[in-house]
Amino acid sequence: MKNDDPLLAGLRARAQAIPIGEPERREWERQFNLIPAVRHFETKLDLADPALVRVALEKVEEHHLGGLRLRAVNGAVMAGLFDCALGVAGVLQLVGKRAGTCELSMKFMRAAFDAPLEVYAACVKRTDNLAFVESELYSDGKLCALATGLVAVATNKGTEEAFW
C-alpha cells in the first residue's frame, strides 16, 4: 500500500504529526531497523510519512503461520507487529523520554494470509506522559485487524527497574 491510499484516510484524519523532521525520522528509522529483535522478526520500520508509522513484514514465512489451523499468520505475530507500530508511534510523540507500550488491545476481523503484512499506526492524543495510539493491519491491502494502545513514560525509582 502507499501512504496516501484512501483506506488510510480515517487513521490519517485522527493522526497527530510526528514532532520531528524528516532527517531525524529517517535516522530514528535506520537505528530502529538495526535492533536485533527487529531484524530477527524480519520487519521493517518506515517513517517516511510525517504522521503515520508503517511497520511491514514483506514476506510471510512458515514460522509466521499457525492461526486457526489454517495457513494464516499467527495472532502472536500480528500482536508483535502491532506492538512495534503502536509503540513507535507513541514514543515518537514523547521525544527525549524513555517510554513504551503499556496497553495493547486488538480486534481481529479476518485471517491474514498474504504478504505483505503492513501495520499503520498513529498517535491520536497525547499528554506530557501518555500517548494514545491506534493502528490498522493490512494483509495484501485487505484490512484484517485493528488495535489501540497506550504508550507511557517510564519512571525510575532510583534503580534500573522501570515503573509505568
What is the per-residue pLDDT for 54?
98
Do 147 and 162 meet the contact criterion of CB atoms below 8 Å apart?
Answer: no
Average pLDDT of 8-32? 97
CB 70 within 8 A of CB 111: yes
DSSP run (H or E) holding 148: strand 142-153
**Whole-structure pTM value:** 0.93
Integer Cα distance of 143 and 140 in angstroms: 9
CATH dotted code for 6-163: 3.10.129.10
Residue-wise pLDDT tens digits, 62-80: 889 986 778 899 999 999 9
In the chain, what are the domain boundaries? 6-163
Angular region, 9: left φ>0, alpha ψ -120 to 50, beta rest: alpha
Contacts of 31 (CB under 8 A, 6+ apart): none
The share of the chain scoring above pLDDT 90, in percent, equals 85
pLDDT of 33 > 90? The answer is yes
| pLDDT for 52 | 98
Confidence of residue 162 (pLDDT cuts 50, 70, 90): low
